[in-house]
Amino acid sequence: MSTYLVEGGSPLDGSVEIHGAKNSVLPILAAALLAPGECVIHNCPRLSDVEASLAILRHLGCAARREGEAVVVDASSPTRYDVPDELMREMRSSVIFLGAVLGRMGRASLCAPGGCELGPRPIDLHLAAIRGLGGRITETENGLLCAGRLRGADLVLSLPSVGATENAMLAAVCADGGTSSSSGARGRGIVDLQSFLCALGARVRGAGSSVITIEGGVPLHGASHTVMGDRIVACTYLTAAAAAGGHVEVTGVDWRTLSTVTAVLTEAGCAVRSQPGRIELTCRSPLRGVRPIRTAPYPGFPTDAQAPLMAALCRGSGCTVFVENMFESRYRHVDELCRMGADIRVEGRVAVVYGVPRLHGARVRAFDLRGGAALVVAALGAEGQTQVEGLHHIDRGYQCLEGDLSALGAQISREAGKL
Ligand code: EPZ
């Protein structure tokens, strides 16, 4: 297993172009299965989750290849409707293929998805949406078998689930008749997915609001699309600058999609300038505690930014209360941060961070994607060397974290795993 070695104490300085959004490109790759033609998806990040999605598409009988910053998918003649267990278990968003495979092939066979262990990750809302569209779902000993001709429906999801909303959109595009999906999920990945589906010729409206309408049965064709910048990766680099001190500019992301995070960083004592396409953060003094941070569905404070922000606030003064409302167990980075000298107390969904004057290097382990990124953020502001293990989690969502941070002046390197 490879490891990061981070020498803390170097302020960051420079500009970084943010790569395409993981949580946009994954449903977009599943959607490419719907169109009998070639799709070119630009600004496609080099992530292990993207490779897993391409492997699923190839298994289903599509051609899929990388061409520089883009991937090209040709779903003219898919031949299979089963997603292999080992690919399903690679990531959470493999479940998004349920709607796409069922919509294109008329049936789908898959097991429960994998992904970050953030507490229970049920798929009941995904299945409710598929059943609401007429899909028949049979639970088999190793997963689910879905079949049925899909027909439009008025769907109401009991929770603002991003993934279930995306699954409903993909299936509804192939259903007979119109569908309305009311879920309250307004995430940016949903907006990007709608934009791609419309490029394919689908008639989808309302993404970004609480009700999305889909006109099913419209013939689809191949298309080109450019994936939006990853707001969580941008948040990660801004919190890194807050933790290490210095001046960092991120480009290629819509500043409005992370305004809840930049507002907190400003309250903590950073100087933030947001303009179309770029955000600058300067931090010349230790951070101070801020008002309670409660994670919520978009446009609320993003749960994916909770861990990196917590890591930055560990070193400084004052106290910050976090309330993690989206997932039951999204504090696995806390014990690791405490190994570095952080003072954090967790009670259920509440974490209280007491700022300390300094953190020190330690040997720590990533247990999930954003928690792993948080350990790197903390290490940048710590004294001495930190070893971060479990990089396979980080590689799922960051194209080249060590390369980008090194370019900003961080002392970070990736050591190959010892056999
Ligand atoms: C997406 O996960 C993102 N992943 C997550 O990012 C992000 O944290 C989350 O949305 C925020 O809502 C991708 O887009 C690939 P949800 P998803 O369905 O779709 C419950 C990252 O780090 N729920 O919106 O899996 C669920 O347990 C990842 O990039 C059900 O109860 O999240 C959670 O409490 C982590 N039943 C809440 O809804 C269901 O069927 C929101 O989950 C589905 C979800």
- Reported as a single tens digit per residue, the pLDDT across 277-336 is 999 999 999 999 999 999 999 999 999 999 999 999 999 999 999 999 999 989 999 999
Q: Is 157 in the pocket of ligand 1 (CB under 6 A)?
A: no
Task: Using the mean position of ligand 1's atoms as its centre, give its distance from the Cα of residue 279 in Å.
Answer: 27
Q: Can you tell me which atom of ligand 1 is nearest the CA of 185?
A: 24
Q: Does the C-beta of 113 come closer than 6 Å to ligand 1?
A: no
- pLDDT, one tens digit per residue, over 383-409 is 999 999 999 999 999 999 999 999 999
Domains and CATH numbers, the chain: 2-18+229-416 (3.65.10.10), 22-226 (3.65.10.10)
Alpha carbon of 260 to those of 178, 300, 331: distances in Å?
Answer: 35, 7, 20
Q: Is the torsion defined by CA of 290, 295, 296, 297 positive or negative?
A: positive
Ligand 1 center–CA 139 separation, angstroms: 22
* 276 alpha carbon, distance to own chain's centre: 22
Quote the ligand 1 centre to 300 CA distance (angstroms): 14
Q: Which of 94, 157, 159, 332 has most ligand 1 atoms within 8 Å of CB, for mutation?
A: 159
Task: Please state, in angstroms and as integers, the Cα–Cα distance from residue 209 to each residue in 41, 79, 180, 185, 188, following that order.
Answer: 25, 36, 12, 8, 11
Strand (E) or helix (H) holding 352: strand 350-354
CA distance 221 to 329: 41
Question: Which tokens is 117 given?
Answer: 């262990």
Among residues 225, 164, 176, 228, the alpha carbon closest in space to that of 37 is found at 225
Calculate mean pLDDT across residues 174-188.
Answer: 95
- Determine contact, residues 143/86, Cβ cutoff 8 Å: no
> What beta strand segments (E) does 44-191 contain?
63-67, 70-74, 107-110, 136-140, 143-147, 154-156, 178-182
Clarify whether 116 is annotated catalytic: yes
Q: Is the CB of 394 under 6 A from ligand 1?
A: no
Q: Locate the ligand 1 atom nearest the alpha carbon of residue 327 and give its number.
A: 34
Whether the model clears a pTM of 0.95, i.e. scores above it, the answer is yes
pLDDT (mean) for 357-379: 98
pLDDT in tens, 236-246: 999 999 999 99
Q: How far is CA 71 from CA 51, 65, 100, in A?
A: 10, 6, 18
164 CA to centre of ligand 1 in angstroms = 8
Helices (H), 246-344: 259-267, 306-313, 332-339
What mean pLDDT value characterizes the chain? 95
Q: Which of 44, 111, 116, 283 is catalytic?
A: 116
pLDDT bucket at 24, cuts 50 / 70 / 90: very high
Pairing between β-strand 63-67 and β-strand 70-74 as defined by DSSP bridges: antiparallel
Is 108 close to ligand 1, i.e. is its CB under 6 Å away? Answer: no
